Amino acid sequence: MTQTQRPFERRRQPITAKEYGPDPVDVHVGSRLRLRRTLLGLSQEQLAAAVGVTFQQIQKYERGSNRVSASRLYDIARVMGVPIQYFFEDIDDRITSHRPTQHLPEQAGITDIPRAPFEEDPMKKNETLELVQAYWKLPLDEQRETVLKMLKAMGRRD
């Protein structure tokens, strides 16, 4: 212990994505970014050009492997026509309880926390996004209502 450290302070090692994987909050923000981009019909290239980054950077944001800075998130929100809080909607204990920063470094088993793969959530699959886009492209309310009733009826058969 150095003279400048107090007895109750320990020097913490930095928490790295390499060791713990991407932060679940960054993954959530990225999935919301991907959802909104897809619903708007924007390609990664188009969004990247609009905010001044490469499409590879957008890919990394969407996976959560790169954290979106506050200023970049502001730019993305403006381009996509949503408030910044849109990217943080639906965050709950299920997501935040798995953050490595929620635990003290001395606690064992922090790397053993099970993390669901990104594509396990059906709401984040391309198929779901394509279905929602196709649904909203239907020109009449009656058509959308009929399709919705049909899907619900088919779901009850199983």
pLDDT tens-digit profile of 119-137?
466 776 778 888 888 898 9
Per-residue pLDDT, averaged over 62-70, amounts to 93
With a CB cutoff of 8 Å and minimum separation 6, the contacts of 81 are 40
pLDDT exceeds cutoff 50 at 11: no
CA dist 122 and 133 (Å) reads 15
CB 47 within 8 A of CB 77: no
d(CA 102, CA 25): 12
CB-CB contact of 124 with 34 (8 Å) = yes
Tokens 């996004």 belong to residue: 129
Q: Answer with the residue of higher pLDDT: 115 or 26.
A: 26
55-63 and 24-40 helices, crossing angle to 10°: 130
CA nearest neighbour of 77 among 59, 43, 50: 50
At 3, is the pLDDT very low, low, confident or very high (cuts 50, 70, 90)?
low
For the chain, the C-alpha Rg in angstroms (whole number) is 20
Reported pTM = 0.57
